[in-house]
Amino acid sequence: MSDAKNSGRLPAFQFYPADWRKDPGVQSLDYETRGIWWEIICLLHESDERGVLLLNGKPMPEDALCRLLGLDNQKLTTALTTLLTYGVAKRRESDGAIYSKRMVADENLRQIRKMAGSKGGNPLLVKQNTTTRVKQKPTPSSSSSSSSSSSSSIKEESPLVLPFESHEFAEVWHRWTKYRKEIKKPITPTMAESQLKNLAAMGEGRAIAMIENTISKGWQGLREEVEPQRGNAPRRGAFDQSRMTEGLTAEQIGTL
């Protein structure tokens, strides 16, 4: 049995020549930098977090990347600067790790399909016991009822679908589900469906910001950043002494 199979890593990844040829960032690279990026893509595929350049669970140091690619520090630094400037590669804000936006999004979609497939498409049926079929000729009414029930089940068996098609949202959703696993609070399919529905109603930009804020603060549930109350603004219902003494003389105020 191969090491790749033992570790759960995929032996290959999908490559779309048309997308590669049409990507303005990739096509703006010189051939040497384009070749360096291709070698990095291979490393991203084999990473523990597919699509993110990690070494032993942490962002890969540039010295280690130099040795893996057979490049000197100056050439690698120049190549990485170009890749980041052209938007071909991305750097994760949380830890500074290099990643491929497309590969992270594809991996997130693969995990969603894998989870849905392992549950037979309907998470509500996972823990139900298998019933024994009775050899009985169905009546027209029972056949109609069975057909209606099957149709209803098919509608319920649709896998989770992200409300936004951008790679940015797919990436941040993947990080959110990964974060919940790390804190031993994995997101259930029912919870994920509810959260995605609420996020869709908020709009993409606001949804991404809320997920990023929740992860950065180490919170368990999704929460938005609350603006601090201005120091000069009186609290609702607070006692305002200036209004009480308005129009009084100094002597009158002294008797209060």
pLDDT in tens, 58-81: 999 999 999 999 999 999 999 999
Q: Compute CA distances 4 → 10, 12, 14, 68, whole Å.
A: 7, 10, 17, 19
pLDDT in tens, 137-148: 555 544 444 444
Where does CATH 1.10.10 sit in the chain?
Answer: 3-100
Higher confidence at residue 47 or residue 145? Answer: 47
pLDDT in tens, 166-188: 878 888 888 899 899 988 989 88
Cut 0.75: pTM above it: no
Task: Tell which CATH architecture fits domain 3-100.
Answer: Orthogonal Bundle (1.10)
